[in-house]
Amino acid sequence: MAPTAHAEFPATEAHCNACGGETQHDVLVREKWPIREGDATGILTGEATTELFRCRGCWAISLRQTEDWGQPEGPDAVLLYPPPVTRRSPDWVAGLPEDVPTLMGEIYRALTADCRALAMMGARALIDRVLRDSVGDNGPFEQRLNRLEESGVVGRKDRELLETALEAGHAASHRGYQPTIDTLNHVMDIVEHLLQSQYVLPAEAAKVAESTPTRPRGHDKPAKVVGIRRDAAR
């Protein structure tokens, strides 16, 4: 049985992680109170609003807190809990080896918390893990990428993509680089492709091969072609 709606407050649109987007929510609780902050230049006053939501699609509960300091462009700060998921973990993560799913989970939580530099460092660590499993952990990244390409594990184009992702990870680790969310999503596309191609798809291909019926023996050899004598037909 669906929960009853609260008629005290009109429904509002808000993000729902379970539904994966903006949905209609019932407002269960709404509280407002004055806020103020200041320094040597003066005191600024505003109003904070806390709202408890329930999604009308899946009934999930969420909380939103808004601070409005009277600026013409609208509220100055909005806090959502749980925070909106910016990128969902793939379904095949559970099939990755050992500690890789744990690291993947931390990366996606960093993405949700908008900790982009941390997420980029995590993506770099994942590439390092694949290189270690494939060609060992001796030598700098460039040499190991070269060995990865020479071994046939990746092609030239994929090697260039990995090099780009690694350089972004180096910049986040050592040069204070703060990637945009679009850049980070591109890097995660590259990393996910690498992980799936190295750890997941080979096992899936083996399952397909095992379940595929073999060709009958009679079809292994081409049929014998019998010539027709033209003079015999006259």
| Confidence band for 1, pLDDT divided at 50, 70 and 90 | very low
Q: Across-strand partners of 23?
A: 14
CA–CA separation, 224 and 218 (whole Å)? 12
Going from N- to C-terminal start, the domains of the chain cover 12-34+46-81, 91-208
**Total residues belonging to the chain:** 234
Tell the burial category of 208 from Cβ atoms under 10 Å away from its Cβ (0-12, 13-18, 19+).
exposed
pLDDT-derived band at 211, boundaries 50, 70, 90: confident
| 92's tokens | 């095949």
Pick the most confident of 42-56, 73-87, 149-163. Answer: 42-56
Please give the residue that has the higher pLDDT: either 92 or 230: 92
Q: What pLDDT sits at residue 59?
A: 92
The per-residue pLDDT for range 122-144, each reduced to its tens digit, is 998 998 888 888 888 888 888 88
pTM above 0.75, yes or no: no
The whole-number pLDDT of residue 56 equals 92
Segment 81-86 mean pLDDT = 79
User: Do residues 138 and 119 make contact, with C-beta atoms less than 8 angstroms apart?
Assistant: no
CATH of domain 12-34+46-81: 2.20.25
Judge contact between 100 and 89, C-beta under 8 A.
no
